[in-house]
Amino acid sequence: MLLDEAVEALVWRPDGVYVDGTFGRGGHSRAILARLGPAGALVAFDKDPAAIAEAGTIKDARFSIEHTSFAEMPAALAGRGKVAGILLDLGISSPQIDDAERGFSFRFEGPLDMRMDTTRGITAAQWLAQADEQDIARVVRDYGEERFAVQIAKAVVARRSEPGHGGPLTTTAELAALVAKAVKTREKGQDPATRTFQALRIHVNQELADLESGLSAAYDLLQEGGRLVVISFHSLEDRIVKRFMQAHARPQQNADPAMRRAPLRADQLPQPTLKLLGRVKPGAEEVAANPRARSAVMRVAEKLPSPASPSSASTQKAGHP
């Protein structure tokens, strides 16, 4: 199971401080706590009030929860020092998808909300009611990779502004029906609304911006030898994670071309600060049990000693990767 593999890759010292950046319903957090010793600690984050309520059922002095995005880790962890590992399980959870009132799925009739944190921010319906055609097309195209983004945006604006079109969208069923009319062709087995719902969810929750901020925060917070484990569920997320990890693992490839051409010794070029430990996809058995896992990709990296660190030479001589 990917859950077991993620926790196995994450927890390398039982007395460390760990972060579960996306608590969800607590599966990863409970598994991490089971591997920690008495001196270990786990700090979890989640924007969803339902997740915060679920976290309240964990009665363990080593555990605490923050009702905010993992992008806010630096402020929430101030004073704790460096951490041993950070896990980010991106996207939305099955309970969120299956709750019609949350508005994440076109399969259920419900309000067009899509907020992970229902206590703040505007809903998808509110945004669609006020955004202009160009912005709607940009969001649907960029975050949903939808080639019919312009047609969808035109249909949304027409519905809310022209007599007889029904007014602004307010429910998931209304949006799904509108998209189905605007999208002319779709991959076999995929609902026409899939890409649009993904795009709006990402935009409403600023998921990609949070991911970029969270990765940078995680890198700064990790101690030497610390692990970063990220599970993503679509190409936009995975691309960001892949590029971030590779930029730190292979900095010479990303160095200024002039620097690469300069007569410098290898140790004068940017040095790796992350080691890539692997890329894992769920097995056939897990996908059969949970079809939503089929697109998951887990990437793991380890924080290397800084080239300026006094311990660098000794750890490398001792065989440290």
Task: Pick out the residues of the known binding site for S-adenosyl-L-methionine.
Answer: 26-28, 46, 70, 89, 96
Q: Which helix (H) or strand (E) holds 260?
A: helix 257-261
Q: Kindly tell me the sign of the dihedral angle through the C-alpha atoms of 206, 200, 228, 250.
A: negative
Torsion sign across C-alpha atoms 145, 146, 147, 153: negative
Give CA–CA dist 11/13, Å, rounded.
Answer: 6
- Cα–Cα distance, 185 to 210 (Å, whole number): 32
Antiparallel, parallel or unpaired: β 63-66 and 297-303 = unpaired
Please list, in sequence order, all residues whose beta carbon lies within 8 angstroms of the beta carbon of residue 86, skipping any fewer than 6 positions away.
10, 18, 19, 21, 73, 218, 221, 222, 226, 227, 228, 229
CA distance 39 to 56: 21
Q: Residue 84: which of 218, 187, 212 has the closest Cα?
A: 218
Look up residue 295 and give its two tokens. Answer: 């697109």
Residues making up the annotated binding site are: 26-28, 46, 70, 89, 96
Residue whose tokens read 């996207």? 91
List all residues 6 or more positions away from 80 whose beta carbon is below 8 Å from its beta carbon: 17, 43
